[in-house]
Amino acid sequence: MNMPFTTAIRGNFFDIAACVDHPQQLGQQLRHIPDGLMLLHEGTIVWFGSWQQGESLLPPGFEIAHYPDKLIVPGFIDTHIHYPQTEMIGAYGEQLLTWLKNYTFPTESQFCCEQHSDKMSAFFLQQLLSNGTTTALVFGTVHPQSVEALFRQAAALNMRLIAGKVMMDRHAPEALLESPEQSYRQTRALIERWHGKQRLSYAITPRFAPTSTPALLEQVQRLRQEFPDAYLHTHLSENLDEVAWVKELFPDSRSYLDVYHQYGLTGEKSVFAHCLHLEEQEWDCLCQTRSAIAFCPTSNLFLGSGLFNLQKAWQKQVRLGIGTDVGAGTTFNMLETLGEAYKIAQLQRYQLSACEAFYHATLGGARALSLDDKIGNFDVGKEADFVVLDPAVSPLQKLRHENSRELAEQLFVLMTLGDDRNVYRTYVDGKVVYRAAKCQEAA
Ligand code: GUN
Ligand code: ZN
C-alpha cells in the first residue's frame, strides 16, 4: 500500500463513529479500539484501525508514539467561551445583569491595550490546550485588537478556532460602546483578514439583544448577508430578568429569539449560548432554522441562571454542543463541565450517560459548529486533533478506576472525578502542543 504518513500513534482509542438524532442510537456508534493504531500525514488522519491490522503498514524502525494505559479521544470542542473573562473567573455574588455591570465590563475594558490582549490570548490558548480542548467558539471584546491577538496566536498553532469581536452599542459603559457603522466596518475588516485563513473562522458576535439597538442589528444582518458562511454567535434566554428586559426593549417581537430571527440571524451557522427559558415557539424556530445551542453547565449553575433542558433539545432535534462559558463558567475543563451537565440533567430526571456526554463534547459539538466533516472523531480524512487522557492520576481516581470494568463506567468516573490533571498530551494538527509536567505524570 502506497500511503504516505508522518506519524504513528498506538493506544486505547475511543470515539463516536457517526452523528445521531437520538441518544438511543449512540450505542451503535461507539468505537472503542483497546489496542489501536492511527496514522497521520502531517495534520490529517490517513489510517485508523486495530494495531493487529495496521502493524504491517509500518516500515521497520518507524517511530511510534505509544500510550499504553491511556485513553485517546478526539479533542474537546468548547462551543461557547469568552477569552477576555479568563482573569475574572469566580466573581462573587451576582446574577447575570449585575455580574456584567460589576465585573465583566470593567475587565473587558482592559482589552483596548494590545499588550494585554496578547498576554491574555497566550494564557487562554494554553488553558484550552492543557485541558484537552482543541477547538473553541470564542467571544473577544468590542476591541478589534482583542481578536487580532487571539487569531494571530491560534494561527501560529494552526488551531481550528472560531472567534469574533463583540458588537454592542448600548447598555454598557461608554468606553465599550461603538456606533453601528463602526461596528460594521471593524467586523468586516476582521472577517476579510481572518475568515478562512488556515483553520480559522470568523463569528459575527453581537453580545446579546439588550446591548444591541435595532440599528446595530441591521448592521449585523448586513454582514450576515455579505458573508453567509461566517458564524453568528450570541446569547439567548439565559436569565429571567434578561428575558423580561428584552421584552421591554423589543415590544414588537414575539419572543427573545424572534428579535434575532427578524434580523435574519438564525440559521445553520448560528450558535446561541444558554437557551434556558425558551418558549415552545422559540424551540420550534431553532429547529426550523437549523440553529445550534451551546449548553454551558458550570456557568448556568454559577450565575444561578437555570437548568438547561437537554431532553427537549433532543426532542426538538436542535443541534447542541457544550460550552464552558468562562468566565461565568468556572472551569476550562470539559471533564468537569460534563460532570456538572450530568447533575443538571439529574435535577430534571434525565440520565446523561457518559457516552452521550462525550458525544456532545466531541462529534456532537462539531456538528453544532457544522464542522463534523473536519473534526470530532478519528475518521480517515479528518484533522488530527486529539487528547491522550490518563484515566487515573490521584489515589482516589486510581481506587475508583480499578473498580470500573466497562469503558462507559471509566468514562463516567472520569467526568465525575476528572479534571486537567487527567490530560496527558494534547495534539493539534498532528503535533503535540501540550505535555503534562513530569511531576504530574508520576503522581
Ligand atoms: N450575556 C451577555 N453577555 C454575557 C457574558 O459575557 N456572559 C454570559 N454568561 N452571558 C452574557
Ligand atoms: Zn457567554
Residue 295 cell numbers, joined:
449548553
Mean pLDDT for the stretch of residues 134-156: 98
Q: Percentage of residues in the chain with pLDDT exceeding 70?
A: 99
Q: Is 328 in the pocket of ligand 1 (CB under 6 A)?
A: yes
Quick one: which atom of ligand 1 is closest to the CA of 328? 9
Task: Give pLDDT, residue 441.
Answer: 55
Q: Is the pLDDT at 2 greater than 80, yes or no?
A: no
pTM score: 0.98
Residue 117 has φ and ψ, to the nearest 5°, of: -60, -40
State the distance from the centre of ligand 1 to the C-alpha of 313, rounded, in angstroms. Answer: 21
Q: How far is CA 35 from CA 41, 47, 154, 389, 412, in A?
A: 20, 14, 32, 15, 21
Structure confidence at residue 135 as a pLDDT band (50, 70, 90): very high
Dump pLDDT digits (tens) for 95-123.
Answer: 999 999 999 999 999 999 999 999 999 99
Q: Taking the CB of residue 307, how many other CB atoms lie within 10 A of it?
A: 16
Residue 78 cell numbers, joined:
468548547
Q: Is 104 in the pocket of ligand 1 (CB under 6 A)?
A: yes
Is the separation of the CB atoms in 294 and 273 below 8 Å? yes
DSSP conformation class of 6: S
Rounded to 5°, angle at Cα 290 from 247 and 214: 35
Place of cell 446561541: 272
Q: Which of 128, 147, 206 is nearest to 385 (CA)?
A: 128
Mean pLDDT for the stretch of residues 201-214: 99
State the distance from the centre of ligand 1 to the C-alpha of 81, rounded, in angstroms. Answer: 10
Place of cell 415552545: 280
Task: Give pLDDT, residue 258.
Answer: 98
State the distance from the centre of ligand 1 to the C-alpha of 101, rounded, in angstroms. Answer: 11
